Structure 1
Amino acid sequence: MLVSALLTSLGINSGLCVLFFILYSILRNQPSNYEVYVPRLLVEGNSKRRSHFNLERLIPSTGWIKRAWKLSEEDILSSSGLDAVVFMRVITFRLWIHFSAVYILTIFVCYLLYHNEAKTLYKRLLHLRSEPSQHKYIRIGFFGQKVDLVDHYEKKLEDIEQNLRLEQSDLSLADETRAAFVSFKSRYGAAIAFHIQQSINPIQWITELAPEPDDVYWPFFSSSFMRRWMSKLVVVVACILLTILFLIPVVVVQGLTNLSQLEIWFPFLKSILTITFVSQVITGYLPSLILQLFLKIVPPIMEFLSSIQGYISHSDIEKSACNKVLWFTIWNIFFATVFSGSVLYLVNIFLEPKDIPAKLAVAVPAQASFFIAYVVTSGWTSTASELCRIIPLIYSLVTRFCKSTDELEVPSLPYHRDIPRILFFALLGITYFFLAPLILPFLLMYLCLAYIIFSNQFKNVYMPKYETAGKFWPIVHNSMIFSLVLMHAISIGIFTLKKLSIASTLVFPLPVLTLLFNEYCRKRFLPIFIAYPAEVLMKKDKEEANDPAMAEFFDKLVTAYQDPALLPIRYSVNSNSLNSPLISSADV
């Protein structure tokens, strides 16, 4: 890629970043957009709409940048939990030392309960009742009588609720269930039950730590061991196929970075490609943009695959999706781009481990300009677009135009989308800092943008739906160790090609020491992320033994874990059907 093409990409993406910042500064001040840009503050009651016109709202402001920059870790921890702190730590990591040193989303019944027809009818009823002067009528059949639409919807809603209650009754009368939540009077007792094998057959009785009530993923809660195992096998095969298929856009992107290759593919464009600006845009900006557009669909796909893998908590699904997206990105964006996207070539390289350092030393430096452009496009522009929340803004405008009465829902940050991106940029910084130091200022600019923007979003937009106690950090640690070892391999390859045998010999102990350090960390710190120490649990049990609040906690624990399939919906105006028992005395 030519320097002029890189500068063209830099100019386009810088302009887009400035545009996103200006649009956000204006749009966030408009009262009609508060649901998009400060939903969390609205729900918490920390922000109120001001309907009177104010000219200052149309003037871009930068005060929010200063407030986001000064947001401390303590503020993030108190408002968004430990997972948000871990995410921000990924952005502000010890990374600079390295730089300077060398599914089926849910089961059908739950879908009906929460998404298909009852909720839609209820929203329509609310809309019609709010505007009684606009009541409409519907004709039943071709020659039937006219029926008031409100009455028609109410009757239909009652029928749906009654059918659901019948289904719930059948579920409640089931003789047995394959899984259940068990509560203990002490944390230490729960830990013992978790670690002890319950049956001679290890797959007959499986114990797992219960997730938080809001974190439970019910579709696989009662699944058998065999079904979970088969689900994982299917997901592994699907991930491999997706990885192979994604090499197609990678090959296309690599062709766009090479004008001679592009003229061979599209000879009719030869005259257009002679225009300097057009060739710079195509080779400098278009490849990374196309790659970024294809990558947008990867996190949702990986989340779907993780959701059918057999996990019983949303946090486990997100951690699994995070790992999948990270290694998918490293393989398809880094290695496939570096080695020109050939499947057979990639396989052949990794089948001969002794040749990997030399081949990396030749291939990695050749793609430096492409990855700089990728950081600008996928880093700067994509992160800046996070401010404007374009899709939620469009949805808000559409629902406002349609006079929808949707309840305000505060989103949570999709960690599986953003953590892999930050870690991939860290890998680029570690592997390229001595090959192409020019990449470092672009990465530094990205990290500054990410810190300001995500601090602002944690404060105003995102609210955690569950807490994993920082269990994303092992993913960060493993990624950094992999990046360091990869950098060592490239260094050894370069020194070997330059016939500097002494230098390559002196570098060789570094990957060994790094892997030894990783093994120590696995023994010393990884168990803390898997289970709580018995010492801590016993100490906590003693502290709360005489706490009067524990009695109330145990009372709430009885109803904390409820299957959504058995929860009644409360949309109908007929209160008698809602208060009547789910199972009559005649059925018992």
Structure 2
Amino acid sequence: MKNYLWTAGRWRNGRWMLDAWTVNGGGMDGGMDESLRLRENKVIALKRIAYFYASQPQFHHFTILVRGIPVQAGSSLSESIEQFFREYHPLTYLSHTVVRRTSKLQQLMDNAEKLYGAVDQLKSEERSSQRLGLFSNKDRHLRTLEKKLEVTEDNMRMEQSSLHEKEVPAAFVSFKSRYGAAIAIHIQQGVNPIEWVTEQAPEPDDVYWPFFSASYFRIWICKLVVYVASAVLTVLFLFFVLIVQGLTHLEQLESYLPFLKSILTIAFVSQVITGYLPSLILQLFLSFVPPIMKMLSSIQGYISMSAIQKSACNKVLWFTIWNIFFANVLSGTALTQVSVFFEPKKIPELLARGVPAQASFFISYVVTSGWTSLSSELFQLVTLIWNFLRRIFAKEEADDLIISSVPYESEIPRILFFVLLGITYFILAPLILPFLLVYFCMGYLIYRNQLLNVYAPKHETNGKFWPIVHNSTIFSLVLMHIIAIGIFGLKDLPLASSLIIPLPILTLLFNEYCRKRFLPIFQAYAAECLIKKDREEQNDPRMTEFLDKLIVAYQDPALKPSQYSRNTDSQTSPLLQSTEI
């Protein structure tokens, strides 16, 4: 199959956003696919660097996150940070923003926003009634809401006055250059390695604030809970897979539900039940997995929404591969013979027997899951219906309606799973290839339109999902080699099986080479790129304005001035004043 590079951009916040999705189909042999993979790695890496050179200055390139900050005796947390970085980074240090626990304040602000919206709506309805010469009986309700708003405002002021006691030993530290920030990230700052721990800061709009106040022990416990919950979800989902597999075998269905025997004799009904219905039911259950995985990833201690989305993408991908591919392929054998996993020599033979038997199921799965997902992606029915209901019942304006962001955690795993099907089935059931080709061709057109004209990216990816694509493709190639070894073994062709054995080894060696050669490019920018970019902008007069904005860019949204005041008819005096940090 052919390689498809889906690339699109979008103008946001004064700069061009780049989104790149790359899909690679199965090659005719391992060497061809690995050569294509090497070429794609080079192309995507060059695109990432080219985008960096062409982009405007971005706050997160100049900022780092520092944790485990020790407070010196007689100094505040903010003073300790400033003294440390002015002493050890005197030429590049710019400013810092201390992180505070503001979850309660944010909740109060959300409540105030809802109350203010309700008050404003009631006043608007009252003015409309007066213009029509009608009398409104909503005065009591309006006074009640105004009273609640005043109480909420007082609570917000009290909470803000105590924020100095809720400082977290973490801060966003900004520098005057990208290279200065990179040095602070990659060099241990203190003698004690668990103090002054640095990492790359996310974009200001990408920061996930709830877990900044979490202790390392709490984060460790949360990660353990997430792993256990993911394992439990995987096991529970196997029961749905078994139910679906039961529908593909009429004999089992007739034995469990004998009253359907007369209906199942109808050719059309039996074809629908065994062909279309199983994959449709499976897709219905699978649609609940991405939101669950994203929720689980959000409690793992990540500090950015993009990291949460990337973690959820990984979870959904391997969940799909295990529960959709392996569970369906091995449902008739491995689930009843668990001991086979303790005998690795039998795994190729087991896959060689199970994979071809499920070819018709996966062809129908491509149609029901792939083609229908593209149509739903194009029409955006869920978002359309939700916005329609909000306009009717919540009476929201068009500017307040939801604009979707790219659902990477659901779309990328689906695309990569179809890549796996193409690679593993192109030698076993080539009939699946036209269906996949239609999916990828339609997907190129539809996703390009969505990325350009529909989605509003909340953060830039800049190729960060590419390592997931690469790892998934390498796994698919190794799986194809193992299946081929098993097939030749079943055909009593030991020489052919022996000749294929080096292929997975060479593929893994190629993967290790790619990890050394390309993975660092997707983790951080080289000093050559950073210094070159800094020198280009050194004499740019716009940098002064940018650095001024950088000083307050990472201020917690809960600490920014609010538009609500005690007099709801006026918004001239903000409720919360900016605090100097």
What is the match of residue 76 of structure 1? Answer: 9
Partner Cα separation in structure 2 for residue 479 and residue 72 of structure 1: 16
Aligned equivalent of 1:402, options 393, 402, 416: 393
Shift of 1:551: 1.3
1:471 and 2:464 correspond = yes
8 Å contact 1:109–1:565 — kept in the other structure? Answer: no
- TM-superposed CA distance for 1:415, in Å, is 0.5
1:26-47 alpha-carbon deviations (Å, 9 max, x no partner): xxxxxxxxxxxxxxxxxxxxxx
Residue ranges of structure 1 left out of the alignment (5+ in a row):
1-70, 139-146
Asked if residue 537 in structure 1 is aligned to residue 523 in structure 2, the reply is: no
Q: 1:181 to 1:310 in 2, by over 3 A?
A: same
In structure 1, the residue matched to 2:278 is 287
Tell me if 1:497 matches 2:490: yes
Aligned equivalent of 1:339, options 330, 347, 352: 330
Distance 1:189 1:400, change over 3 A: closer
Pick from 375, 384, 401 the counterpart of residue 384 of structure 1. Answer: 375
Cα distance in structure 1, aligned partners of 2:31 and 2:442: 20
1:453 offset after TM fit, Å? 1.6
Match in the other structure for 2:113: 119
1:235–1:491 Cα change, 3 Å: same
Structure 2 vs 1, CA of residues 467 and 114 (structure 1 numbering), >3 Å: closer, same or farther? farther
Displacement of 1:495 after TM fit?
Answer: 0.5
1:136-194 per-residue CA deviation (whole Å, 9 max, x = no partner) reads 435xxxxxxxx4443433332232222122212212x2274221101112222211211
> Structure 2: how far apart are the matches of 1:389 and 1:311?
29
Q: Is the 8 A contact 1:181 1:210 kept in 2?
A: yes
Go from structure 1 to structure 2 and tell me whether the alpha carbon gap of 1:82 and 1:553 turns closer, same or farther (over 3 Å shift): closer
Report the Cα distance in structure 2 between the residues aligned to 1:553 and 1:522, rounded to whole angstroms: 35
| CA–CA distance in structure 2, aligned partners of residues 296 and 496 of structure 1 | 38
Q: Any residues of structure 2 matched to 1:232-251 within 5 Å, and which?
A: 232-251=223-242
Distance 1:408 1:510, change over 3 A: same
Distance 1:271 1:530 in 2: 61
User: Displacement of 1:295 after TM fit?
Assistant: 0.3
What is the CA-CA distance between 1:218 and the residue it aligns to?
0.4
Distance (Å, rounded) in 2 between the aligned partners of 1:79 and 1:349: 53
Q: Provide the TM-score with structure 1 as the length reference.
A: 0.79
Counterpart of 1:214 in structure 2 is 205
Q: Give runs of aligned pairs for residues 40-79 of structure 1, distance below 5 A.
A: 76=9
Structure 1 position 210, deviation (Å): 0.5
Preserved contact between residue 336 and residue 342 of structure 1 (Cα < 8 Å)? no
1:99–1:429: 8 Å Cα contact kept in structure 2? no
Question: Alpha carbon RMSD of aligned pairs, Å?
Answer: 2.9
User: Which residue of 1 is the match for residue 356 of structure 2?
Assistant: 365
The residue number in structure 1 matching 2:550 is 557
How far the C-alpha of 1:571 sits from its partner, in A, is: 3.6
Distance 1:231 1:438 in 2: 45
How many equivalent residue pairs? 499
Q: Which structure is higher in RCO with an 8 Å CA cutoff and minimum separation 6? A: 1
State the distance in 1 between where 2:490 and 2:114 align: 67
Unaligned segments of structure 2, at least 5 residues? 34-100, 130-134
Q: Is the 8 A contact 2:6 2:20 kept in 1?
A: no
Q: Which of residues 221, 229, 253 is equivalent to 1:262?
A: 253
What is the percentage of aligned positions where both structures have the same residue? Answer: 61
Indicate the SS of the match to 1:182: strand
Aligned counterpart in structure 1 of residue 20 of structure 2, from 68, 75, 86: 86
TM superposition score normalised by structure 2: 0.79
1:141-540 to 2 correspondence within 5 Å?
147-171=139-163, 173-174=164-165, 176-340=167-331, 345=336, 348-402=339-393, 404-406=395-397, 407-540=400-533
* Between 217-226 and 326-335, the greater mean CA deviation after superposition: 217-226
- Tell me the distance in 1 between the aligned counterparts of 2:575 and 2:16: 43
Pairwise CA distance, 1:396: 2.6
The one-letter code of the counterpart of 2:112 is: A
In 1, the alpha carbon distance for the partners of 2:363 and 2:545 equals 57
CA distances 1:49-92 after superposition (whole Å, capped 9, x unpaired) = xxxxxxxxxxxxxxxxxxxxxx99776366799986422x23xx
Deviation at 1:229, TM superposition (A): 2.1
Counterpart Cα distance in 1 of 2:328 and 2:309: 27
User: Judging changes above 3 Å, is the alpha-carbon distance between structure 1 residues 255 and 175 closer, same or farther for their aligned structure 2 residues?
Assistant: closer
Structure 1 residues 502, 83: closer, same or farther in 2, change over 3 A? farther
- Tell whether the 8 Å contact from 1:82 to 1:470 is kept in structure 2 after alignment: no
Looking at structure 2, the residues matched to 363 and 241 of structure 1 have their Cα atoms a distance apart, in angstroms, of 25
